[in-house]
Structure 1
Amino acid sequence: MRRVATAFVLTGLGLALLAGPAFAHHAFAGQYDKDTPIQFTGVVTKIEWMNPHARFYIDIKDESGNVTNWNIELGPPLILRRAGWRQDSLKVGDQVTVEGYRAKDGSKMANGRKVTLADGRQVFAGSTTDGGPTP
């Protein structure tokens, strides 16, 4: 009986320890820096329209002509559809402007707040200004 109780307690503690990283995955503040806003224009190279977050990749050319590829995380596809996106809103080769927040780890990744599409439309990208709930 004592072994069963010990196993039960240890299993519960193990699950509790795993819950933190699971919640942190979806926490804006855990991954992105609200104090490091970004805005840049680039050319779409890849689009991933899937749950839990849609994303696209863009090539950005700096002042020296060097090109870097950035991963832009968006909100879930359902939220994006409600904000006016369609699966064909972005196409590989489109030039877009992104406003959002850079990843805390310094990688070429950002959380998009607003995207200006190739046709000039500005669409909400599923992020917030302060890491709080989306509007």
Structure 2
Amino acid sequence: NNMRARIIYATLVAGALAVLVYAVPAVAHHAFGAEFDPDAPIRLQGNIVRVEWVNPHSWIHLEITQDDGTKEVWMVEGGTPNVLQRRGLRRECLPIGTELIVDGYQAKDHSLTRANGRDVTFTDGTKFFLGSSGTGAPTDGAETRGRANPARC
């Protein structure tokens, strides 16, 4: 009977862990409108200082030089690494120091240097849709589905 209780306990613990593994990413993922302002489009031009190629969103950190010469780092949220790779944008395409132009939307809290990326443009003119489709963003990339981007690197 003691062995049966242990098996039941182990099964319950394994089940609870499985629920947590799937629940945490679901909670971490959010709709565009929960964090970003559709009425605050922004264009950022700067150099990559860090890339987080992680789920549920990738992040590109850009160092921006303001008109007065001061520098600040902006965190730009992108789609999942898997989606970006299918569009032709791989992690290797984003080495530290690369200059980019990112068009997107500022965080609702305008005191944060954070944005949701819509498009990323490289200095050679190559452009990729950086965002996540179906998020509710003003232009959420639905029109880019099925359209292949040129290989970047």
Give the aligned partner of residue 129 of structure 2: 124
Structure 2 residue aligned with 1:29: 33
- Deviations 1:74-133 (Å, cap 9, x if unpaired)? 001111112220111111001100000000012000000000124431001024695276
Q: 1:88 aligns to what SS in structure 2?
A: helix
Give the aligned partner of residue 79 of structure 1.
83
For residue 45 of structure 2, what is the aligned residue in structure 1? Answer: 41
Compute the RMSD of aligned alpha carbons: 2.4
Identity %, equivalent residues:
39
User: Compared with structure 1, are the counterparts of its residues 118 and 48 closer, same or farther at alpha carbon in structure 2 (3 Å cutoff)?
Assistant: farther
Distance 2:106 2:132 in 1: 12
- Normalised by the length of structure 2, the TM-score is 0.68
The CA distance in 1 between the partners of 2:52 and 2:124, in whole Å, is: 20
Q: Which of 48-57 and 116-125 deviates more?
A: 116-125
Please state whether the residue corresponding to 1:36 is helix, strand or coil. Answer: strand
Corresponding letter in the other structure for 2:113: K
1:92 paired with 2:96, answer: yes
Runs of 4 or more, structure 1, over 6 Å off, are none
- What TM-score, normalized to structure 1? 0.76
Number of residue equivalences: 116
C-alpha distance in 2, partners of 1:44/1:62? 15
Q: Which residue in the other structure is 1:15 paired with?
A: none
Gap runs ≥5 in structure 2: 1-25, 143-153
1:17-70 CA deviation, whole Å, 9 max, x = no partner?
xxxx938x5110010001000012101100111111111101101110010100
| 1:95–1:123 CA distance, 2 compared to 1 (3 A) | same
